[in-house]
Chain A
Amino acid sequence: MADRGRAAGWVLGAVLLALPLALPQFYVLLATEMLIMGLFAVGFNLLLGYGGMVSFGQAAFYGVGAYTCGLLLKKTGLPFPAAVLAAPLVAALFALVFGFFCIRLTRIYFSMLTLAFSQIVWATAHKWYALTGGDNGLIGVPIPVALSGPRAFYLFTAVVAAGATWGLWRAVNAPFGRTLLAIRENAERAEFVGIHVRRAQLTAFVLSGGVAGLAGALFALFTRGAFPEYAFWTKSAEVLLMTLLGGPHVFLGPALGAGLLILLNSVVTSFTEYWPVVLGAILLALIYLFPGGVTRLFVGRSAAPAGGEGG
């Protein structure tokens, strides 16, 4: 029974992933963006929903991933797969260094320090013209001819995002996921059952940063460039909002939130230039009508252990 359910899930997932290929090009591009941001948000939720750590600086690692991949492809002769793989590794390394300091603080102080680090990354990208191209961005990142069509690139993104999401799924269902939930629930008790709380939090920070780096690399390939905005704090706010909109208590909730927000943005901006107003309204509706995200409309309050409202 469970096996049949799982098989049905895989088939459904594959169909959903393949569906945009049948749509006009505009939607293929939109779906690509949804997948990339969805991956970013699901990785971010390892901190927010599972670890109860509210990072305001996740864009740092997204930006580092984008620039790493872009710079390697543009300025070195590194093969394409190596450049893509390097992005999450370098981002994870940044997360290790930043995280070492951040996890020593808790609650709002943790959030503020993540924000501070991400602004350093942004400022560096913004000002270091010789390396990053500064506020002009890093443009003209070459990608393999085979991936240059929107549909081919969509497929590539779908495979990479699905693979990374599967890895995260394994991690949150493995003992490490349980350990993170225990820390979120009661860090003191976790410490007193022998869990090295800071090490677990740092591990989550590094994994989450690595996934953000991979998402950033995909987006750099998608836009053929890397720009300082990728590391700006508004990007961190965006991924936080997506995660809350979809619901941090369901594994794929944040991806749903990412999809919804991108779709809404696309529809609304075709009617009006006042997207920020609509965004504000969404935020209000989210807080008052769907605390816990839209997935909570479908899944009961106690359905998943990854509660995490408010972190």
Chain B
Amino acid sequence: MLAVEGISRAFGGFQALSGVSLRVEPGEISAVIGPNGAGKSTLFNVITGHLVPDSGRVTFQGREITGLPPHTICRLGVARSFQRTNIFPRLTVFENVQTAVLSHERRAFGLWTPARNLGRARAMAVLEDVGLAHRAGEPSGSLSYGDQKQLELGITLALDPALLLLDEPTAGMSPQETRTSVALIERIARNRRLTVLFTEHDMSVVFSVARRIRVLHQGRILAEGTPDEIRRNDEVKRVYLGEGAIRRLRA
């Protein structure tokens, strides 16, 4: 489905990614973990076209997408959410999702037919899915943080993607919101047979949801495997899980 081969990217003197390779199989829910600054977001930005890598290639469904602009990659079926919520704050909840639906249906440039009811059924179905249907008419900027995250998930789902990239989908959520959100993502991924690649700091989420985990450390893939294999990996324990545990103790 997705193949990343030997991706490197530097910012000035800082090597954010060096020779990262990974393969994502269809229908797989997998995670990329790693400490802050490990290169997770950079990796996502390279895959989705936000950044052009210095070297290496990205192929999606057999087609090379390295360096294509984000809107093209999106149209090929790769949708993403962002670490910081990224919505259209002064549009209503419904309009946020409808904008994505219209873009997906290649109608974003229609100049004549009123937009009001276009794509309504699909947009409402998505809002139903993410539990925001009852707030469809509200300005999205007035939603709670957790609901804005759900809305952003809705925006990505409206694009009917084959591959969904979620950058810290539960960042900043309360434990309650996290549980709801994770259950939702799992249910939708199952129902729609989506392939999901996500990053996350919450290890309980990672180890309960991901079938496959890749550990990124200083711009390199340190380890890759099932949750059990990652748990048992000594090097991972040392550089990451251990560090995290120490940080938790200090906190």
Q: Are A178 and B87 in contact (CB under 8 A)?
A: no
Q: Are A194 and B71 in contact (CB under 8 A)?
A: yes
B136 within 8 A of A: no
Q: Are A193 and B159 in contact (CB under 8 A)?
A: yes
Among residues of A, the one whose C-beta sits closest to the C-beta of B119 is: A175
Interface stretch, picked from B9-17, B88-96, B213-221, is: B88-96
A170 within 8 A of B: yes
Q: Which residues of B in the span 40-92 have a Cβ within 8 Å of any Cβ on A?
A: 48, 69-71, 74-75, 79-80, 82, 86-92
B236 within 8 A of A: no
Q: Are A178 and B115 in contact (CB under 8 A)?
A: yes
Q: Which residues of A in the span 167-203 have a Cβ within 8 Å of any Cβ on B?
A: 170-171, 173-179, 181-182, 185-186, 188-197, 199-200, 203
B111 within 8 A of A: yes
Nearest chain A CB to B163 CB, angstrom units: 13
B interface secondary structure, majority: loop
Known contacts A193-B103, A195-B103; A179/B91 CB under 8 A: no
Q: Which residues of B contact A307 (CB under 8 A)?
A: 90
Other-chain contact of B111, A170, A186, A188 (Cβ < 8 Å): A170
B175 within 8 A of A: no
Nearest chain A CB to B149 CB, angstrom units: 13
Known contacts A173-B115, A178-B99, A302-B139; A195/B91 CB under 8 A: no
- CA A195 – CA B82 in complex, angstroms? 17
Q: Which residues of B contact A177 (CB under 8 A)?
A: 115
Known contacts A175-B107, A182-B99; A191/B115 CB under 8 A: no
- CA A190 – CA B95 in complex, angstroms? 12
For the complex of A and B, 7 pairs with smallest distance between CB atoms? A194-B74, A185-B88, A175-B110, A193-B100, A179-B108, A194-B103, A182-B99
Starting from the known contacts A182-B91, A193-B99, 6 additional A-B residue pairs (CB-CB under 8 Å) come to: A175-B109, A177-B115, A194-B103, A195-B71, A200-B108, A305-B95
| Cβ contacts A to B, 27 pairs, < 8 Å | A171-B111, A173-B114, A173-B116, A175-B113, A175-B118, A178-B95, A178-B108, A179-B99, A179-B102, A179-B103, A182-B91, A186-B87, A188-B86, A189-B82, A191-B70, A192-B71, A192-B80, A193-B74, A193-B158, A194-B108, A194-B159, A199-B109, A200-B108, A305-B91, A305-B92, A305-B95, A307-B90
